[in-house]
Amino acid sequence: MHVFITGGTGQTGPAIVAELVRAGHQVTGLARSDVAATRLTGLGATPVRGALEDLDVLRQAASAADGVIHMAYGGDYAEPEAMIRRDVGAITVMGEALVGTGKPLVVTSGTLVLPFGQPATETTAPDRAGAAAARLAGEDACLAFVDRGVRAIVMRLAPTVHGPGDHGFVPMLITTARTTGVSGYVGDGSNRWPAVHRADAAVLYRLAVESAPPGSVLHAVAETVAFSAIAGTIGEGLGLPATSISAERAGTHYVSPFMALLYGADAPATSTRTRELLGWTPTREGLLDDIRDGDYLD
């Protein structure tokens, strides 16, 4: 297949590009800069210069491909509405380029769109008033193409996609521990946190673009870990105590009240249906082992 990917030089994107190339697929990737273009070339992909705002570029690249993986998401988080408009605009243009072809459009979301406090499955209704509800506009835009002859697929990533060079939630937690002198968890730390290794997530993206049925909602979740165990492993590695932080103090202990909300969220999610549907079996080390043995505490 010829796969066009956005976000191919982000945190998870390079692993997906490398996985596709290893499997024999031709890959083109959106590149906003010379640095991004060079990285894509080094991964074995062909860069397409442009950004998510360049809708004509997206349209042409999607039209020329046998399938699309949409990873890119970002911008100014102080202007969420602008981010949503950009994301939906990009998905809509690429989806329209695939109408009537039966080609795959894999759009990235996250399991944090689901209700907290219960083991959420792929069929659990998302929480449209929740902390990550902004990602649902992209899910809706993607799945709207199912009835228009597109093999539209939503991929919900675990909040922690770990591996070398991670710059997500766990490194932020480690930075806070180093700054405050304690490795904190909210309350009793029993809240659950999904995770997946980047290499395992990349395999799932490849399986999805190759064979997931239209309308699939997939969960890239390898395990669910108690947050107290994450904090304890970080504390052990840094030589700091793992300490309970009250919900009242969490907003000032962590980077922001929003991050405190996420770190205190009980957000378990399962991937049983995803595994059965595509034969996906995560094989890489779990989050706690990666924190101990990887580059997190260097």
Q: What is the pLDDT of residues 55-112, one digit of tens each?
A: 999 999 999 999 999 999 876 666 788 999 999 999 999 999 999 999 999 999 999 9
Tokens, residue 224: 């669910």
Residue 275 in any domain: the answer is no
Share of the chain above pLDDT 70, in %: 99
Same domain? 201 vs 101: yes
In a domain, 151, yes or no: yes
Check whether residue 107 and residue 230 sit in a common domain: no
Sign of CA dihedral 111, 113, 115, 120: negative
Question: Domain check: are 134 and 243 in the same one?
Answer: no
Task: Read off the CATH number of the domain in which 233 is found.
Answer: 3.90.25
Nearest residue to 106 via CA among 211, 222, 21, 14: 211
| Domain contains 278 | no
**CB neighbourhood size of 70 (10 A):** 26
Structurally, how many domains does the chain consist of?
2
In sequence order, the 6+-apart residues with CB closer than 8 A to the CB of 221 are 111, 158, 194, 195, 196, 269, 270, 271, 274
The mean per-residue pLDDT over the stretch 35-48 comes to 98
* CB distance 40 to 106 below 8 Å: no
Counting Cα atoms < 13 Å in the Cβ hemisphere of 242 gives 16
Same domain flag for 191 and 64: no
* Domain interval for residue 78: 2-160+196-220
Q: Percent of the chain, pLDDT > 90? A: 96
Please check the confidence at residue 205 and state whether its pLDDT lies above 70: yes
124-177: pLDDT as tens digits: 999 999 989 999 999 999 999 999 999 999 999 999 999 999 999 999 999 999
